[in-house]
Amino acid sequence: MKARIVQCLCPQRHALLAIVIDNSEFSDDQLIAAMHVCVDALIAGRGKEIPGMPAERINPWCGMCGAPRLDWTIELQWTKNFETWQDAIDALRDCEARQLVGAAIADMLGVTYDAQRKREMN
């Protein structure tokens, strides 16, 4: 089985938000529009109003490179084949965890946009 993944990406393709869909009742255009709504809600601090979204506010820039919200794009793709939906979720959660570790290490090393901003503020 394949699933659709909708991602909000900065121009350098850092993933700011991703949603995996196993439901075919929504068109690609509907999913892309929904992702725009989710991103705008998260920037405004209204993520808790949308089921499954984090409550925390996100910055209107990429924490890795500093690209502003106006430069972000929304893309929809199909995943590779998985035996089951749970296999897909497990693989995607593993990928997410590895990306979060990489981002945390880059932040600790001071090479992210957010780390540079923190240094400048101190």
**pLDDT tens for each residue of 3-36:** 999 999 999 999 999 999 887 789 999 999 999 9
Q: Give CA–CA dist 99/87, Å, rounded.
A: 18
Residues 105 and 62: their CA atoms lie apart, in Å, by 16
In the structure, how many helices (H) and strands (E) does the chain have? 3, 3
**Band of pLDDT at residue 52, cut at 50, 70 and 90:** confident
pTM, to two decimals: 0.88
Give mean pLDDT, residues 36-57. 92
pLDDT of residue 54: 85
Closest listed residue to residue 79, CA positions, set 98, 100, 58, 94: 94
Residue 20's H or E segment, with its range, is strand 15-21
